[in-house]
Amino acid sequence: MKVFINPGHDRDHDPGACNWDGTHEADIAWEIGIRVKEYLDAAGCETMILQSDNLNWDSSYDDRQDAAVVPMANDWPADVFVSIHCNACGSHTARGTEVESYGSEASDALAQCIQSQIVNSIGTVDRGVKQMPQLLVLRTTDMPSCLVETAFIDNDEDCQLLKDNIDAFAAAIARGVTDYECQCL
């Protein structure tokens, strides 16, 4: 199975959401994404990873014109697409994991496999699988895809959980992908 991994945002140009302590979403997503790649490679999957603010040739930065996330995943072509993020809502009280999908039963199944693995292995608050048709990476990819909101980076407890469990989040995401492979492919 070919898995395209997209750690959300961009460490140089778009840090994503932040915690007051200086923890950036792009850094956490990158660390989780690299480990997901390692786990899936070890499981026999073929992987590709790209973190970029250029999702569909929409970056304004000159140094981001060599590749765009969605076209790269579509052209490869990947069998599944997983984008990794940290959630934020500004209230600093929301907690938990949600996985977003759109477009197909296969995308929903992929999202549910990953959601179940994270919640069951790490014990995050289960916010469920949600339909998000407005997300470009879900709407324009040609394969089953999901966007993983690991935990709320702007909530101190969730942020600490993220920092202390990068490897556990990665392993859970990788297990979710392989669970999907066993069920659906």
Q: What is the CATH number of the domain that holds 119?
A: 3.40.630.40
Please state which of the ranges 12-16, 54-58, 60-64, 180-184 shows the lowest mean pLDDT: 60-64
Q: What share of the chain is helix, strand, coil (3-state, %, to 5)?
A: 40, 20, 35
How far is C-alpha 31 from the geometric centre of its chain's CA atoms?
11
Which one-letter amino acid corresponds to residue 125?
Answer: V
pLDDT value at residue 124: 97
**How many domains are contained in the chain?**
1
DSSP 3-state of 37: helix
- pLDDT tier, 52 (very low <50, low <70, confident <90, very high otherwise): confident
DSSP class per residue in 66-86? S--HHHHHHHTT-SEEEEEEE
> 44: exposed, middle or buried (C-beta count within 10 Å: 0-12, 13-18, 19+)?
exposed
Mean pLDDT for 45-65 is 75
Packing angle, helices 25-42 and 166-184, rounded to 10: 50
> Among the residues of the chain, which ranges form H helices?
25-42, 69-75, 105-122, 136-139, 156-164, 166-184
Mean pLDDT for 69-92 is 94
Domain enclosing residue 37, as ranges: 2-184
Structure letter (DSSP) for residue 143 = S
- pLDDT tier, 62 (very low <50, low <70, confident <90, very high otherwise): low
Using CA atoms, how far apart are residues 42 and 126, in angstroms rounded to an integer? 28
- Indicate if the pLDDT at residue 9 is higher than 80: yes
Measured in Å, how far apart are the chain's first and last C-alpha atoms? 9
The 10s digit of each residue's pLDDT in 142-168 is 999 999 999 999 999 999 999 999 999
